[in-house]
Chain A
Amino acid sequence: MTIVETRAKRGDASDGTLGGRLSRIDGPAKITGAADYALERQPDGMVHAVLVDSTIASGRVLSIDAEAAEAAPGVLLVMTPDNALPIKSATDWLGTPPPDVPYEPLARTITFSGQHVAAVIAETFEQATSAAALVKVTYEDTAAIASFDDPRAGDGMAIDQMTVEWGDAEAALASAPVRISQEYKTPREYNVPIEPHGLIAHWQGDTLTVWEPSQWIDGMARTYAEWFDIPFENVRLRSPYIGGGFGSKALPLEHGAIAINAARMLGRPVKLAVTRPQTFTAYGGRPATRQTIALGATREGKLLSIVHRGANETSITGIAVEPLGSVTSIMYATPNFSSRQNIVPVNTVKPGALRAPGENPSAFGIECAIDELAYEVGIDPLEIRLLNYAEEDPHAKKPWSTRRLREAYAAGAEAIGWSNRDPRPRSMRVGNQLIGYGVAAGTYPVRRTPGEALVRILSDGTVEVASSSIDMGQGTYTILAQTAAEAIGVPVETVRVKLGDSALPRAPVAGGSQLANLMTGAVHKAALAARDELIGLAINDPNSPFRALQANTLVIENGQIASPRDTGSAVAIAEVMRRTGRDKIETLRNTLPEKLRNDKDHFRNFTTISTMLSPTDGDYSLHSWCVHFVEVRVDVDFGTVRVARMVSALDSGRLYNPKLAESQWKGGIIMGIGQALLEEGIVDSRHGRVINNNLGDYLVPTNADIPDLEVISVGIPDTHASVLGGKAVGELAIVGVAPAIANAVYHATGVRVRDLPITLEKLI
């Protein structure tokens, strides 16, 4: 397990109580290189696996000639579907039981370029890499459909569960005085975390230890147990730090099965790390999307109807739905609404989750469309948003728990100086630079899964918090220390947080922006229980220094126990523990509802997402909200777009640590700038292959591309959303960035770019 010790300064801005701006307590370990990432382990006897990937996008493997590779120095095994030990299929992440067929992570039938067809395991990484190039794969090549722009891809299949309709949207659109209709497109976008995916798999008898960066330790450990037909308890998955995931490290992948199987076959620890090009094919990013949005409105700009039709790419064999109507259906009040969605199978790796799947492209569509409507009817883009403000959830017809979007509009507009903007397109200019201001809103739902946590008060008065949840940079170590410190009444630097180990109390997926809320809730509950037990001990134990007080209760502050009436009598926790002879107080608590408090549902709660509540389960509709204001400069001759200023006002409810929440917001905003201006998986239509599969050619922003980012929190505690009042943070801030920039580019240039990224050739 990984223990991160808190080093807090007291009495300054790094205050360690909940809501304080404590710096990340894992920061020093990361800065000094002391942080031990999973793939840096070097167990004795470890060997290396390298994948052989398909070079065609569609067809089948006719034969694999492994002779030369097997004869190469150091090679221990060339794994193919024909010699791999069988693996069982596993329950999926939704909890759907598996089909009774073997699971084959090495493909015989090829449905995308880059699919794993074999693996070479050798004593060294270099030997395995070299031998992998010697494996000769013969294919039968069939015609591939490279993308949904290929006419042969067709319209795909309708996903009826995505249909949302009220009123009569088509009729209301047809009779609306003002109508606009446009198509909006986003390309394939990739997670490209700096730490690649990979694992070290180590069997000892029928127990399996896996070192692997993971956003969901218990879900992945459960899958590994099912694949290899061993009890869940026999899998130890360890993930001390995660070097970026953005949604891509939550689910077990083919390469994991391959490495674990190789370790089983060879009886040695096997390390497999995907290469940088494989971060584009070993798992999918955000699928390419297209949406047609038709708005019907009064001449004053009041919405009468929204008709939305979306489609995203999926793989030939998998169903990946990027919910394109998720923001469309809740952002604005409209009496008539229709949203439907198709998925279009093409020869690609199955798309996956990338920061705010659904909400992100959905907001690009509706937030550009509403901007277009504002210009169509001749009112301010900010005005039209307030004119059509949704006072309740227009889809669920429930009140918002909190929706501080009006406050966000006001705060952001004030900070950017929105009123200084000349509303006419292409009207503001300095030298060669056209200046444009844009605005767009975003939202992300509050998802809820019950949590669990262990809290220990030790004999020396220090506190431990333990959970199999993870910290991928978002601040879990830090806010859980703050939560426990505040609940018990100890200095935050006396709290140690242990995360990233499946042997610890269970945790659901660190995804859907739910982890902070559910884990602070569980730690708070366990810590209060530990505190109560400590006070009970101090009151009742015959050896307690407080025994003589005959007190009903005691207070704990700064690690000292005292009578509420006589704080001069304060005694350190360690002294009470010593006097009473206790070596620890240990409380394990979960936040499961009564009906789920049985072994089966407890297990299901943490290893599938089947118990996750939707944002509208209950009496309220729970969402975080944000608005981005941006000023762009567009070179009048070159078409290059630079973000000059950006102000974002966000409602994530209560912030457990504003410094870390702001950092997460800014990270999302930076990713959004990249999405707007740079990121695009470029597909060669003949080969069905993403050809810019490296960080030199797949462009993400550099520091030079990012201005100072101003973020303003407008949230208030929302106890409908979570026990301690927080709402979603991590995935919120990317939502709405791309449309804000696209809208600013229109204001600067008079050119509407409806397909991302906004590259220079679209503006010259």
Chain B
Amino acid sequence: MANMAQAIRMALHYAETNYDLKDVFGQDVGAPLGGVFTATQGIKTAWNSPLDERGIIGMAMGIAMTGDRCVAEIQFADYIFNTIDLLKIAGNTLWCTNGQYNLPMTVMTPVGAGIRGSVYHSHSFDAWASRLAGWKVVMPSNPLDAYGLLLSCILDPNPTMFLKPKALMRVRGEELIPGEPADEKELKNMIDAPIGDRSAWKANWPKIQEYLVPFGKGKITREGNQITVVSYGRHLLLCNEVADQLAAEGYSVEVIDLRSIYPYDWQMIKSSVQKTGRFLCVNEDTEVTNFGEHLSYRVTQELFYELQARPRVIAGKHVPGIGLHPNLEDASVPQKHEIAEAIKEICGEIP
């Protein structure tokens, strides 16, 4: 069973082989490292750029302007902030040109806490990304979805942002990617670069097949009828765990993996909330103008008379950074006990 880094690698290989993907680039993306999380190891079209985020995004825009597909990586989302106006321009280029120039580019970047990454390796970007009109934004919670979402991003003619939950890069999923060998060791021997000298190494790719996760389609990962919990990325797994734990206490929690942040699966959220009457969104980006607030607003506006309790959002604290000490990190981003408490509180609320 592939981990998420291997799944991303296989998606990039599939795309450069079958979708005419010509450039995968960013700092340390090419040989010998193949990405700080090894997600670009063995990719033929991968190359190293200077340490220059604006140069990386600008170049991706220019490549896309010619019609060529590319995947550009910003090594950590914490370093994407100095490209924000380029991201804005990438998102508005089609609109400003009245439909004449589309940019088929994908930006991928690791996001979120969970690896004790301190101030500059822990930040989230989903709330910021959701405000970039003209972009499609996704965040997987498992390797199979990472594979399917990344392929959808690369195929899409618009700018797409693939947010990689860095704490899940070594986490394995429960479902095989089509064509992936079932034996983890076999896969590792085929596509993981050896330690030490890699100059003569080439990946031996399995015969993987196309698998697409469409934009705007969520997935119900736990069925329930008391409360709807919407999440994505790393926190989706925490929500699943909490749902399982609370099931033993008699709570029936429905968990939705949103997968696609924009566009998003409103119909799935709507039908679930109509069933449960309760809504909670969980993510780790900071809480003020958080994307979950938009969902909560919409639930309130459109489903107000069907609600049994006030919608809530659990998100990262609105503090300038995520401190290194575990006490600081854990106090800054949502923890399982907070999710469990919120679920119990919401379920206990009587209209």
Partners in one complex: no
Residues of B participating in the A interface, judged by any CB pair closer than 8 Å: none
